[in-house]
Structure 1
């Protein structure tokens, strides 16, 4: 085969930026205010920007590069798959999709052994809700405030954060309730046990007031991600499971962000022994190398469609390149004990390092997380807990913290008044320590 020159090799960073601003319409943004960073290279836990600066990527982009950038095993799997079968229509079986489904099923909880593949997390959540409605014959879906479930029309209405507001006309059959969040408790709780008990009673009241016979599903992020990495108190998820069982409601666990090792478990549902009826995934299933998501389906719900046609599908469902990347990702996680490594990072490096930041800095109100999934709540005052940026917005102080981090070589994930540290699960303990030290210096500089 004759070697060909890439059509992109001559594009300089300046030209890339120029073309982006002229032709690319960005998500969740006012277009005129954008000045996007150009990423020219990535490897492992690092990215390089247009100025040649190397940055520790503690965003995992949008919390999906769970095995880091340019992992050789995933890259090779995509190349090998492309060499003999790039694509195929979803009605045909193919090796990559069959093996990906088998591997996913070996790690999902309970009897979630059937997998419906989608292109990402939002459409996984859309299809999970559709399955729940068809299975139960009911319409309403309950979900929490401080949640994110996707940007498509139904998924963004199920979402509980401000990104919902512009598209929510109150007509999608969605109802919101408060989940547990002790630091900003809606229930005047003072302990995790109180918060759990009162949050479950609140949900029971909502179910009673809405009419249990009208509710198809309760959808929960096993650990709310972008909304704040609020690890549910022990007993909460299992308590929701009991309420669903009592009323014949389908329980959907959204593990799009928290799944595939992010929490230090294969799935965050394991932290409370939860077996949902439907489990949605994306992001970490193949480290985001090729778009892929899906719904893991219980035997009971799968049986609903044994003789009844499921009225849904996608052109690229189970795309061979994406599924080949998933096979390589999951096998690497198994072989290299990546989930165990993420758990150790959380227990031995993140938890003590961030606790020290909380003791040292007046702006740090709380740190919380598990595995490689951490949030730092920034406040103006520790006593009043007033956020350093408003709910749904930002502030010069938070922007300054981010700028100081980047200046020192670390890219954090930021949302409202929080800095999230969500690196690849393959990040070393030394790299995590370095990132925490950078954040320490950035907080000092920004506050000064």
Structure 2
């Protein structure tokens, strides 16, 4: 065996870093430019390295550790399931899988009674697209330019951001501009104008593409990676109405925004609408074991009662992931984690970030709900010029050096701590952001 792969793994940051750079190929990266942060352990909202340096996690990693790191009930459930049955094929009936599905259905709106499990959010969206095409007999999928839906065949083409461009291999995808008042595509000056004009634009896209050719509109309930774009009043209701008018299914991607992140179990609950398919992953078990899925409305599920569904995954409903789902959702309910996320947003993060925006012209806009916020940084407030990537890189480095793990995208700091974050931890994170922005103001 190669010496570096022996059981005598080193316990220093340097050794772990060298091991990674020798053997690990990283995603979304120029490999030679990588300098990955070394993490040894964690608990709650905090992580630490092998040298003992501690970090406050304001990223939830990739916005998925909603219940925080190493929650004892979730870890215990995974261990117990591993001791009982570590893996089983998806065609079997398994207690953990059934219990996980039951809990998810109990949180979903009335009229949703089946769950198809996947391994992540990308393949959840893949299968929701497949279902919509089969049910409607149509091919096209409409999705927003400001969106991210995953990095598999159809999911990455449904994605609107630039990562789509070198990956455009799937068929039948059309994009539209979703609302973003701060950088309006519609010359809107108010939320009402942005909503109305965005809906007019979407109607024209539907009409020009041919309503009878469109299977589904796929949307993040609140686009996350694109900038935590909280939908303006009336927009989601308008999208639902367009879908009803033209016989189009509405797929809501709750992969990032779901399971407590916005202070609700599902982000679409803020808008008083009901989709036809719901995709999820990340927060359903905080990513402790990879899991995702599609929650099917009865209309969609009934279509397959006597028809073959041509889809499946070897690890669909993996028992370790299912046990983690059961323990996560139970613990979140018992410990009022969703309510905590709402309170932190309303009482700490919302007011705190607004105060920073008033203090620093560098901040163009702050927006969000619960523990799902974006701070948009600009070099010219009047022109809303995005802060340069080089400066954003320096800000990210400074935040990490100060003990905060940020989620930085383009010219934005996404403030997305675990839903379990305490008032004191939220205030500490805001203080670090304040301290760092002062260096660049």
TM range (shorter): over 0.9
Q: Which residue of 2 aligns with 1:72?
A: 72
Counterpart-to-counterpart distance in 1, 2:21 and 2:399:
25
* TM-score computed with the length of structure 1 as normaliser: 0.96
Deviation per residue, 1:224-258 (Å, 9 max, x gap): 00110000012111110110011110100000000
**Runs of 4 or more off by more than 3 Å in structure 1?**
6-12
Q: 1:62 to 1:8 in 2, by over 3 A?
A: farther
Structure 2 counterparts to residues 179-218 of structure 1, below 5 A: 179-218=178-217
Counterpart-to-counterpart distance in 2, 1:82 and 1:267:
29
Pairwise CA distance, 1:110: 3.0
Q: Which residue of 1 aligns with 2:87?
A: 87
Q: Which residue of 1 aligns with 2:317?
A: 318
The count of residues paired between Structure 1 and Structure 2 equals 436
SS at match of 1:190: coil
Q: Which residue of 2 aligns with 1:392?
A: none
* TM-score computed with the length of structure 2 as normaliser: 0.97
Q: Which residue of 2 aligns with 1:143?
A: 143
Deviation per residue, 1:10-31 (Å, 9 max, x gap): 4543222112111111000011
SS at match of 1:42: strand
Pairwise CA distance, 1:9: 5.6
Structure 2 counterparts to residues 344-383 of structure 1, below 5 A: 344-383=343-382
Pairwise CA distance, 1:280: 0.1
Q: Which residue of 2 aligns with 1:15?
A: 15
Q: Which residue of 2 aligns with 1:3?
A: none
Counterpart-to-counterpart distance in 2, 1:410 and 1:24:
25
Verify the 8 A CA contact 1:222 1:254 in the aligned structure 2: yes
Q: Which residue of 1 aligns with 2:419?
A: 425
Verify the 8 A CA contact 1:404 1:445 in the aligned structure 2: no
Q: 1:78 to 1:9 in 2, by over 3 A?
A: farther
Counterpart-to-counterpart distance in 2, 1:153 and 1:68:
31
Counterpart-to-counterpart distance in 2, 1:430 and 1:415:
25
Counterpart-to-counterpart distance in 1, 2:245 and 2:15:
60
Verify the 8 A CA contact 1:252 1:277 in the aligned structure 2: yes
Counterpart-to-counterpart distance in 2, 1:330 and 1:300:
26
Q: What are structure 2's unaligned runs of at least 5 residues?
A: 1-5
Q: Which residue of 1 aligns with 2:42?
A: 42
Structure 2 counterparts to residues 97-176 of structure 1, below 5 A: 97-168=97-168, 172-176=171-175
Answering whether residue 408 of structure 2 is matched by residue 414 of structure 1, we say yes
Verify the 8 A CA contact 2:364 2:378 in the aligned structure 1: yes
